[in-house]
Amino acid sequence: MLVLSPPMMFRMFMHNSLSAHWILLFAIWFIVLEYRHKLWRGAWILLFAASLLVHPYLVAMLVPLWAISLYFQSMHEKKIWPKVVVDILAVSGVLLLVGYSIGIFSLKINHLAQSSYGFYSWNMNGFLNPLYTSAFLKEMLTGTSGQYEGYSYLGLGNLLILIAAFYLLVQKDVPRRQLSFILPFLIAASLFVLFSLTNQGLLGNRLLWDFKLPQFISDLFGMFQGSGRFIWPVFYFLVLFGLIYIIRNDRLPTLILALGLIIQLADMQPLIEIKRIEGTAEYQTPMQSEFWSQAAQSNRHLFLLPAWDDVISIYQPIALYAQQNQLTINWSFFARGDYVSIATLGRQVWQELQAGQSDPQTMYIFWHPEWVENAQENLAGNMLLCTVDGYTIALSVENPITRTNFDLNPYCTFP
């Protein structure tokens, strides 16, 4: 727990994929293996592919770590550049293939770029600011309400270990070999820190610098508007440095690490309490009617109207229903998506429904009160309108469910 407590575990809503910090730990392990000349050459290719399938932020974080690995590879191999070029082409090719397979290239730059670069940044007090997760330290000031994305509190136990490790580092005559190993990590850490701070550097609520980026750079960096997350690799650099340096250079490493673990566990009690679940809970969908199982056998598609971003308020049970019954759905929650085109398609389908054009194997679910009223006024003459478990559903008169033995009368009105 002392080593692997990821910095953002306390905020998981809609960000489950970002908990995959094992990717960053694997990357650091690969660097060590490369330094020892024991790394399988295809390891980075697989890790990049896995990271793109999990979350693009992790791909961006891997690039400086991979550069460290390539640097160490150049230290113990002759004629390294042909191999580096081949490795870069291989990784790029796999990323292009995986990216194409999952539809990244269907998005334009304006779908990927966001305008909030600098708002979700890291604060310079991040390693010491517990927010509300420490039993001993109080929450420190931040510059924006979005700087929770840069949560990187080390904990009192880790801080104790780091202080001891830096003390040993200063006291000992560090071999040049160790410095050559540490230096690339320092360079990478500096890059991560600068990017996570953004063009608006904050210490607490005090603005230390603020400058305007060229529009192209702003759009490019805007693809990773949660810039505070890029402090995560540095978090692990510090934790692992403290642990490894104590283990290798102190006469009583067990005592220091045990003391650090006790203090860390005591300090993080508020965080543990937040994650505590008393008893068990079972999810129960609001879609309880027998209608839903019958409809799933007769339909292939779900279409939510309107197709606005606010649909997320009712999205979860419908998406679960679609997944369980292998139905397509016209809306989903994406980190980056072409929501303008999705909304445009929704308006187009609505116009078609009013013109009497409906797909016989699609359930049209109206969730917004105004649109429910419009559906009742405009579609009652040519479609089945059903009310099931609080949902308003429109079905084509040719929908296969009308030819089954299932009684629709308790739910639907017929044209």
**Domain parsing of the chain, residue ranges:** 16-275, 290-413
Q: What is the pTM of this model?
A: 0.83
Phi and psi at residue 127, to the nearest 5°? -70, -20
Band of pLDDT at residue 113, cut at 50, 70 and 90: low
Q: How many CB atoms lie within 10 A of CB 133?
A: 22
Structure tokens at 199: 């063009």
**Beta carbons of 303 and 362 less than 8 angstroms apart:** yes
**pLDDT confidence of 5, banded at 50, 70, 90?**
very low
Please say whether the beta carbons of 134 and 267 come within 8 A. Answer: yes
Q: What is the pLDDT of residue 270?
A: 94
**160-173: average pLDDT:** 89
Look over the chain and give the mean of its residue pLDDT values, rounded to a whole number.
90
Q: Specify whether the CB–CB gap between 240 and 24 falls below 8 A.
A: no
- Select from 141, 150, 129 the least CA-distant residue to 226: 150
Average pLDDT over residues 259-287: 88
How long, in residues, is the chain?
Answer: 415
Q: Is residue 282's pLDDT more than 90?
A: no
Give residue 104's pLDDT.
83
Residue 86, both tokens: 């081949």
What is the percent of the chain where pLDDT is above 90? 72
Give mean pLDDT, residues 264-293: 89
110 pLDDT above the threshold of 70: no
Q: Is 228 helix (H, G, I), strand (E, B) or coil?
A: helix
Domain 290-413 has CATH 3.40.190: yes
Residue 4 has pLDDT above 50, yes or no: no
pLDDT for residue 11 is more than 60: no
Q: Is the pLDDT of residue 13 over 60?
A: no
What digits encode the pLDDT tens for the residues 315-372? Answer: 989 999 999 999 999 998 877 778 888 999 999 999 999 999 999 999 999 999 999 9
Instruction: Name the DSSP letter for residue 303.
Output: E
Backbone φ and ψ for 63, nearest 5 degrees, come out as: -60, -50
